[in-house]
A and B are shown apart, each in its own frame.
Chain A
Amino acid sequence: MKKAFPILGVVTALLLTYALYQALVVAPTEQTMGDVQRIFYYHVPSAWTAFILFTINLIASLVYLATRKPDADIVALVTAEVGVVFCTIVLVTGPVWARPVWGIWWTWDMRLTSTLVLWLIYVSYLVLRRFSSGGETPMLAAALSIFGALCVPFVYFSIWFFRTQHPQPVIGGGGSIDPRMLHVLLINWLAFSCFAFLICWSRYRLEKIQREVEQAHAMQSLITPRRDR
């Protein structure tokens, strides 16, 4: 298992380099937007990766509530942290793309608003994790994760209905995509997913060791007799 990590690291580095080359050089230039559109190859895979990580967070939280296994809690923590990072990338690359193309940094359209709310919910999850003390944190965090997941359909529906009542220009509209661009997009997504997996794995190991150290300290202070009595 230990050997797999550096191998995966090298593979990920190669994939990311290849994906970068594909995105910046090989992919065809977009008709109306020009080269600025290439941000799309970072914006969309980051979004997909963030959504997948948040889904894993939900599953891990449910597993934790059912089985109380500490490993499930660590997976939930790790995926939330990395997911928030990728979600931040989406929220930063979005406006950076929007400004030169549509002239505005931000708009309260469907996609941007729902991503922002998702980001807010998961940042509050991380704040809860940071501020609550030891023993109860995994349970509280798991409960919050479920609340967040329940909230998602409401977020989408409410913002969609709000937008049909108050229409605004849609940013990054859907529709068909050139197959060569799709190819580059999928390569970037693969590279980002490997990278996310690598970071999650690394953080998982770190968290596990940290908890073992804390437990060892706690045991030590219980066993060692106090000399100043």
Chain B
Amino acid sequence: MIVAREQPPSGITRASLWKDLRLEWRSKDAINSMLFFSLLVVVVFSFSFDPNAEESRAIAGGLIWVAFLFAAVVALNQTWAREIRNQVLDAYRVSPAPANSLFLAKAIGNFIFVSVLETLMTPLFVLFYQLRPLGPAWQLLLVAALGTWALVVNGTFFAAMSLRTRSREIMLPLLLFPISIPALLAMVQATTNILTGEGARVWIALLLSYDLVFTSACLLLFEVVLNAE
């Protein structure tokens, strides 16, 4: 007789996340496409804007986050691709596992992918724009983490929403961008302020509260979206 051991929700999240990371490590599909796309975006921006060091500090915040936003959309679009191909979502719906565990696993996975991407892209930006922050550089890490989570948590949710819509790939940015506007403004302003040496505390606080509110909303409503039929 086989007795299934009941998994705590965190165990399901960890298992799902570990599976995604392992699959990604073996195929490197998403990370390769995102990486090349990001490089292209950085190069195109460099042709479009050719600032000196002073000007670049004022606009780099915006440029960096637009590049990260596009890269995040590429990552988010493939979030559920594997699940759709193999009817995993149907299996998940009939299992007793809570929907939130799956959502968290996907969101954290996306966060890791996009963070790796940002880590690889940032030196390029520093190189091309001769960036040197005049404010505390550690705050940039905080802004990057909070900002990336804001994009990724809503993006994973909207990617699930777009699953059965027509034009799935374009649906995600159409839904994500309007809702992300306050977070985008905060990210860009915080980064610019840190680079130019002004205060970024209020923007960081705004990002933190945005993250808290929308993570809660996603966790509360994901069940609804997963089971909408």
Taking beta carbons and an 8 Å cutoff, which residues of A are in contact with B? 65, 117, 120-121, 123-124, 127-128, 131-133, 135-136, 139-140, 142-144, 146-148, 150-151, 154-155, 157-159, 161-162, 165
CA distance A157 to B164 in the complex (A): 34
CA of A91 to CA of B213, assembled, Å = 29
In the bound assembly, the distance between CA atoms of A158 and B105 in angstroms comes to 30
Contact of B178 among A65, A124, A135, A161 (CB under 8 A): A124
Give 10 pairs: A residue, B residue, CB < 8 Å, sorted on A: A120-B181, A124-B177, A124-B179, A128-B175, A131-B167, A131-B171, A146-B217, A147-B179, A154-B213, A159-B182
Query: In the bound complex, how far is the Cα of B184 from the Cα of A159, in angstroms?
Result: 11
CB contacts (< 8 Å) of A147 on chain B: these are 154, 179, 214, 217, 221
Beta-carbon contact of B217 and A121 below 8 Å: no
Asked whether, in the complex, the Cβ of B206 is within 8 Å of the Cβ of A157, the reply is yes
Looking at the assembled complex, report how far the CB atom of B21 sits from the nearest CB atom of chain A, in whole angstroms.
28
B225 on interface, CB distance cutoff 8 Å: yes
Contact A158 B185, beta carbon cutoff 8 Å = yes
Do residues B225 and A140 form an inter-chain contact, with CB atoms below 8 A? Answer: yes
A117 near B181 with CB under 8 A, answer: yes
A136 touches B229 (CB 8 A): yes
A135:B228 contact, CB within 8 angstroms: yes
In the bound complex, residues from chain B placing their C-beta under 8 Å from that of A158 are: 181-182, 185-186, 206
- Most central of B161, B171, B178, B186 by chain A CB within 10 Å: B178
Q: Which residues of A contact B178 (CB under 8 A)?
A: 117, 120-121, 123-124, 148, 151
B158-184 interface code vs A (CB 8 A; 1 in, 0 out): 000100111100010011011101110
- Report how far A60 CA is from B175 CA in the complex, Å: 20
Chain A residues in 8 Å Cβ range of B181? 117, 120, 151, 155, 158
Which residue of chain A is the closest to B198 with respect to CB atoms?
A165
B189 touches A140 (CB 8 A): no
Q: Say yes or no for B116: interface residue by CB 8 A criterion.
A: no
Interface residues of B (CB under 8 A from A): 154, 161, 164-167, 171, 174-175, 177-179, 181-183, 185-186, 189, 202-203, 206, 209-210, 213-214, 217, 221, 224-225, 228-229
Task: State A23–B179 Cα separation when bound (angstroms).
Answer: 36
Query: Contact at A127–B224, with CB atoms within 8 Å?
Result: no
Question: How far is A151 from B154 in the complex, measured between Cα atoms in Å?
Answer: 12
- CB neighbours (8 Å) of B203 from chain A are 161
B228 and A154 within 8 A (CB): no
The closest CB in chain A to the CB of B185 belongs to A158
Contacts of A146 in B (CB 8 A): 217, 221
When the two chains form their complex, are residues B217 and A139 in contact, meaning their CB atoms are under 8 A apart?
A: no
A26 to B200, CA, bound (A): 51
Quick one: which of B166, B167, B175, B214 contacts A144, CB cutoff 8 A?
B175
Is there contact, CB below 8 Å, between A135 and B229? yes
Are B189 and A162 in contact, CB atoms less than 8 angstroms apart?
A: yes
What A residues does B164 contact at CB under 8 A?
132-133, 136
Q: Which residues of B contact A151 (CB under 8 A)?
A: 178-179, 181-182
Cβ of A136 and Cβ of B228 under 8 Å apart? yes
| Known contacts A117-B178, A143-B225; A154 and B210 CB within 8 A of each other | yes
Q: Given the complex of chains A and B, what is the CA–CA distance between A165 and B228 in angstroms?
A: 43
Q: How far is the CB of B162 from chain A (nearest CB, A)?
A: 8
Question: Taking each of B165, B183, B206, B210, which has the highest tally of chain A beta carbons within 10 Å of its own beta carbon?
Answer: B165
Q: Report chain A residues within 8 Å CB of B165.
A: 128, 131-133
Chain A minimum-CB-distance residue to B176? A124
Q: How far is the CA of A135 from the CA of B164 in the complex (A)?
A: 11
Tell me the minimal C-beta distance from A128 to chain B in angstroms: 6
Report which of A117, A121, A144 forms a contact with B161, defined as CB distance below 8 A: A144
Closest B residue, CB atoms, query A148: B179
Partner of B228, one of A117, A121, A140, A157: A140
Q: Closest B-chain residue to A139, C-beta based?
A: B228
Task: Pick the residue among A127, A148, A155, A161 that contacts B174 (CB under 8 A).
Answer: A127
Q: Which residue of chain A has the shortest Cβ distance to B188 in the bound complex?
A: A162
Chain B residues with CB below 8 A from A143, complex form: 161, 221, 224-225
With A124-B179, A155-B182, A162-B185 already in contact, 20 other A-B pairs whose C-beta atoms are closer than 8 Å: A65-B224, A117-B181, A121-B178, A123-B178, A127-B171, A128-B165, A128-B175, A131-B167, A133-B165, A136-B229, A140-B225, A144-B161, A144-B175, A150-B213, A151-B182, A154-B182, A154-B183, A158-B181, A161-B206, A165-B189
